[in-house]
Amino acid sequence: MISVVILGNGNVATHLHNAFLKAKNIAVSKINSRELENIPNSDVTIIAVSDDAIETVSKSILDRKGLIVHTSGAVDINIITHKRKGVFYPLQSFSKDTPVNFNTVPFCLETKHKEDYSLIESLAKSIGEKTYTINSEQRKKLHVAAVFVNNFSNHMYKIGNDICEKNKVPFEILYPLIEETAKKAQSISPEKAQTGPAKRNDIQTIKNHLENLNLQQQEIYQLLTTSIQKSIE
pLDDT digits (tens, 9 = 90+) for 11-40: 999 999 999 999 989 999 998 877 777 888
Query: What does the pLDDT average to over 159-180?
Result: 96
Is residue 127 very low, low, confident or very high in pLDDT (cuts 50, 70, 90)? Answer: very high
Q: Give residue 79's pLDDT.
A: 95
Q: Give residue 62's pLDDT.
A: 85
Q: Give residue 95's pLDDT.
A: 83
Is residue 227 very low, low, confident or very high in pLDDT (cuts 50, 70, 90)? Answer: very high
Q: Give residue 55's pLDDT.
A: 94
Distance (Å) of CA 176 to CA 155, 179, 181, 183, 189: 18, 5, 9, 11, 18
Q: Within a 10 A sphere around the Cβ of 92, how many other Cβ atoms? A: 18
Q: Give residue 7's pLDDT.
A: 95
Domains of the chain by start residue, with CATH: 2-134 (3.40.50.720), 140-231 (1.10.1040.20)
Is residue 149 very low, low, confident or very high in pLDDT (cuts 50, 70, 90)? Answer: very high
Please say if the pLDDT value at position 47 is more than 90. Answer: yes
Query: What are the residues whose beta carbons fall under 8 Å from the beta carbon of 95, sequence distance 6 or more?
Result: 11
The pTM (predicted TM-score) of the whole model is 0.83
Q: For 49-58, how does the pLDDT look when each residue is reduced to its tens digit (9 = 90+)? A: 999 999 999 9
Please say if the pLDDT value at position 93 is more than 90. Answer: no
Query: β-strand 26-31 against 2-7: which pairing, if any?
Result: parallel
Query: What does the pLDDT average to over 115-143?
Result: 95
Question: 219 versus 97: which is more confidently predicted?
Answer: 219
Please say if the pLDDT value at position 86 is more than 90. Answer: yes
**DSSP H or E stretch at residue 200:** helix 197-200
Give yes or no for a contact between 75 and 51, defined as CB atoms under 8 angstroms apart: yes
With the C-alpha atoms ordered 103, 108, 114, 117, is the resulting torsion angle positive or negative?
negative
195-203's contacts with Cβ under 8 Å and 24+ in sequence apart are: 196/228, 197/225, 198/224, 198/225, 198/228, 198/229, 199/228, 199/229, 199/232, 201/229
Query: What does the pLDDT average to over 113-133?
Result: 94
Cα 230 → chain centroid: 28
Average pLDDT over all residues of the chain = 93
DSSP state of 24: T
Query: What does the pLDDT average to over 130-141?
Result: 95
**Region for residue 66 given its phi and psi (left: phi exceeds 0; alpha: psi -120 to 50; beta: otherwise):** left
Cα–Cα distance, 156 to 230 (Å, whole number): 20
